[in-house]
Chains A and B, each alone.
Chain A
Amino acid sequence: MVPTDRRYTKDHEWVRVDGEIATVGITQYAAEQLGDVVFVELPDVGRALSQHATFGVVESVKAVSDLYAPIAGEVRATNGELGKAPELVNQDPYEAGWMIRVSVADPGEVDRLLDATAYEQLIAEA
């Protein structure tokens, strides 16, 4: 169910590394818990994020939820589509609903995140 090509946080973000760039989004479980996403606030390109820093906000009709950086890095791109179509976060959280791309400062941080099996176990227990 959970893609195995990436890592996860206990806060339900995912991160997929392609060379020096990591793409970040929220998991399907998180999107389902939030309900219909109607607004996503993302950082400016160029902003330096430390690990666990708040990098944005995702809002559903009912709830407001902070987004936390799974790893440290500089924001290289944000998903502009989410401004017009925040529902992509619900419809396709692992691909079209991605949120930011960051440069990977420390690959070791990625390795210490949850793998798909550990994350599946986490949501099974939730």
Chain B
Amino acid sequence: MSEGDAADLQQTALNAVHRHLGARLVPFAGWEMPVQYSGILDEHRAVRERAGLFDLSHMGELFVEGADAGAMLNAALVSDPASLKVGRAQYSMICGPDGGILDDLIVYRLAVDRFLVVANASNAAVVSDALAERIGSFKAVLDDRSLDTSLVAVQGPEAAAILARVTDVDLAALRYYAIAEGTVAGQPALVARTGYTGEDGFEAFVDWARGPDVWAALEEAGRERGLQPCGLGARDTLRLEAGMPLYGNELDRETTPFEAGLGRVVKLEKDGDFVGRDALARAAEAPRKRLVGLRVTGRGIARHGHPLWCDDRRTGIVTSGTQSPTLGYPIAMGYVAPGDAEPGTIVEVEIRDARVGAEVVPLPFYKRPR
């Protein structure tokens, strides 16, 4: 494990709960996090068929407040948070001046002049610093509450029924990518209908110290419906099946949103300048690579870092791959040359000393039944 000694790792407020549940804890982005409890496949199926409970308290919660909060975020991010209605959210990214992705984010509009930006744990400090710098002369303040916030998610087809038992938020009225203030287990909470699993689900932001109470109440509320605690292992296989990118795998500073297939997030036409605009306007016209979905047809599992070949020409690299628990065959995401990105293109994955057949397929791999 190269991410530091256990002694250097931060622990979420739920650390003792995870230990009590018998979780396997691993270093992740400077945090000691549960990678699995009962097993990745078991947890994965629980989320697809019933519901899973996740501790995501390692993620970054950055509140931006002030008369210019919307305008400031429009200038700092590639999307247009200023156009959000109060109570709604959007997927966004923060890029460098060269158009490279610093992180992918969800931005929630909590009030006309108040936003919540949720960043990946691995980038929380980078995003916090970048936002602080990009405030400039805007009338806005940044309040980094990453270490004051516990984040607990319930994901899966039973998530709404489970959460409804312990919240006063009207979940039927809470749309996908919306957020509302209320209580969970009697604790003040922000409840959002967002997630990273491809299922319906919710994320509850509460005070750091309230994390264990909220977790316990949800565990109890979900007992009869088969709710299971889920670790980062299942989170990764779930998001991969849903075709969602992971920073550090599909996204990094050498990649633009257009190359990652997320050009729709970039609002080049919005009012005012924003960091990365010129570079992104050029990048929109000339992607150097394209993110694709891959179905491995030969024997083997494509993994992060495996080279991709097309007609004996090196075309790219696998960014994420696993055996799909839902589909029962190996799936992967990876970058290929722009000309090799059409679904149906036959490529080869270099797995150890062999080349194994694979086909470019549309993303996502899995769409939940509605």
Q: Which B residues are in CB contact (< 8 Å) with A35? A: 36, 39-40, 233
Q: Is the CB of B40 within 8 A of A62?
A: yes
Q: Is the CB of B322 within 8 A of A61?
A: yes
Q: Nearest-CB distance from B49 to chain A (Å)?
A: 16
B264 at the interface (CB under 8 A from A): no
B118 at the interface (CB under 8 A from A): no
Per-residue interface assignment for chain A, residues 26 to 53, with 1 indicating a CB less than 8 Å from any chain B CB and 0 otherwise: 0000000001101101000000000000
Q: Is the CB of A36 within 8 A of B39?
A: yes
B325 at the interface (CB under 8 A from A): yes
Per-residue interface assignment for chain B, residues 216 to 255, with 1 indicating a CB less than 8 Å from any chain A CB and 0 otherwise: 0000000000000000010011000000000000000000
Q: Which of B44, B236, B301, B303 has the most CB of A within 10 A?
A: B301
A115 at the interface (CB under 8 A from B): no
Q: Is the CB of B233 within 8 A of A61?
A: yes
Q: Is the CB of A39 within 8 A of B300?
A: yes
Chain A residue at smallest Cβ distance from B303: A64
A122 at the interface (CB under 8 A from B): no
Q: Is the CB of A61 within 8 A of B300?
A: no
Q: Nearest-CB distance from B246 to chain A (Å)?
A: 13
A61 and B41 contact, Cβ closer than 8 Å, known pairs A35-B36, A38-B323: yes
A123 at the interface (CB under 8 A from B): no
Q: Which B residues are in CB contact (< 8 Å) with A41? A: 299-300
With the chains together, A45 CA to B177 CA distance in Å? Answer: 55
B352 at the interface (CB under 8 A from A): yes
Per-residue interface assignment for chain B, residues 24 to 45, with 1 indicating a CB less than 8 Å from any chain A CB and 0 otherwise: 0000000000011001111010
Q: Which B residues are in CB contact (< 8 Å) with A36? A: 39-42
Q: Is the CB of B301 within 8 A of A59?
A: yes
A57 at the interface (CB under 8 A from B): yes
Q: Which A residues are in CB contact (< 8 Å) with B301? A: 38-39, 59, 64
49-69 of chain A: CB within 8 A of chain B: 57, 59-62, 64
Q: Nearest-CB distance from A116 to chain B (Å)?
A: 25
Q: Nearest-CB distance from A54 to chain B (Å)?
A: 9
With the chains together, A93 CA to B365 CA distance in Å? Answer: 32
Q: Is the CB of B303 within 8 A of A61?
A: no
With the chains together, A59 CA to B36 CA distance in Å? Answer: 16
Q: Nearest-CB distance from A49 to chain B (Å)?
A: 16
Chain B residue at smallest Cβ distance from A36: B41
With the chains together, A64 CA to B351 CA distance in Å? Answer: 11
Q: Is the CB of A61 within 8 A of B352?
A: no
Q: Nearest-CB distance from B93 to chain A (Å)?
A: 27
With the chains together, A61 CA to B325 CA distance in Å? Answer: 9
A-B contact pairs, 20 of them (CB 8 A): A35-B36, A35-B39, A35-B40, A36-B39, A36-B40, A38-B301, A38-B322, A38-B323, A39-B300, A39-B323, A39-B330, A41-B299, A60-B40, A61-B41, A61-B322, A61-B325, A62-B40, A62-B236, A62-B322, A64-B301
| A-B complex: 5 closest residue pairs judged by Cβ atoms | A38-B323, A36-B41, A61-B40, A62-B233, A39-B301
